[in-house]
Amino acid sequence: MSRVSTVYLLTCAAIGVAGGVLLWGITGLSTFLFAVAPFVSVALAGFWLLPAVVGLRLLQRPAAGLLVGLISGLVVFPYLATNLWWAFFAELPFLLVIYRFWGTWLHYAGAAVVGILYPILAAVSFDLWSMGIGAQIGFFALTIASCLAGTWIGILVADRLRDAGVARLARRRPRPAA
């Protein structure tokens, strides 16, 4: 028998679909901003972390962030790989501690890592290295702040959902078959 319950899968699906719908709007706004003010578009980067953070914080189960990222990526299908990429960094700190700890600081550690890495990997798209040092520092600071803010919102949403009783059934481990 599977060790993953239907309630867990449905909870991940609900978070993923809601996150995907949110990301449709954010993607449109980000695309518009990239065309008119590329620097400002990175202020929205943290929203791509939000669905995975909600899933991980609420369910506290291995791969919950990646599963939510996969589902939200299927909702915004052209951006499936992008969603999985962002979800990976939300999941990474928990993977590194072998899912033994679920401290809040681990969510922020993942956000900080991706907040530093994203500008480096997207530097060509934004022509970052041709900017002055002050603009580069501002770009990194804006990206990191956005990722930390997106993570904070994800933690807030997950905590409110937990207070409402959403995670009670989804976090229970299924009993082994007799």
| Helix (H/G/I), strand (E/B), else coil: 62 | coil
Q: What is the pLDDT of residues 17-44, one digit of tens each?
A: 999 999 999 999 999 999 998 888 999 9
d(CA 151, CA 145): 10
Range of the domain at 84: 6-168
Contact criterion met (CB below 8 Å) for 4 and 64: no
Q: Is the pLDDT of residue 93 over 50?
A: yes
Output the pLDDT for position 175: 58
Q: Structurally, how many domains does the chain consist of?
A: 1
Query: Which letter, b or e, does each residue of 148-166 get, where b requires 16 or more Cβ atoms within 10 Å of its Cβ?
Result: bbbbbbbbebbeebbeeeb
Work out the angle at residue 11's Cα, subtended by the Cα atoms of residues 9 and 14, and round it to the nearest 5 degrees. 110
> Which among 63, 46, 67, 44 is positioned nearest to 154, based on CA atoms?
46
Q: Is residue 60 part of a domain?
A: yes
d(CA 99, CA 108): 15
pLDDT band at 171 (very low <50, low <70, confident <90, very high): low
Q: Is residue 177 part of a domain?
A: no
Q: Is residue 164 part of a domain?
A: yes
Output the pLDDT for position 1: 42
Q: Is residue 73 part of a domain?
A: yes
Q: What is the pLDDT of residues 47-81, one digit of tens each?
A: 999 999 999 999 999 999 999 999 999 999 888 99
Q: Is residue 173 part of a domain?
A: no
pTM: 0.91
Contact criterion met (CB below 8 Å) for 80 and 73: yes
Q: Is residue 175 part of a domain?
A: no
Contact criterion met (CB below 8 Å) for 143 and 115: yes
Q: Is residue 176 part of a domain?
A: no
Output the pLDDT for position 168: 72
Q: What is the pLDDT of residues 130-157, one digit of tens each?
A: 999 999 999 999 999 999 999 999 999 9
Q: Is residue 174 part of a domain?
A: no
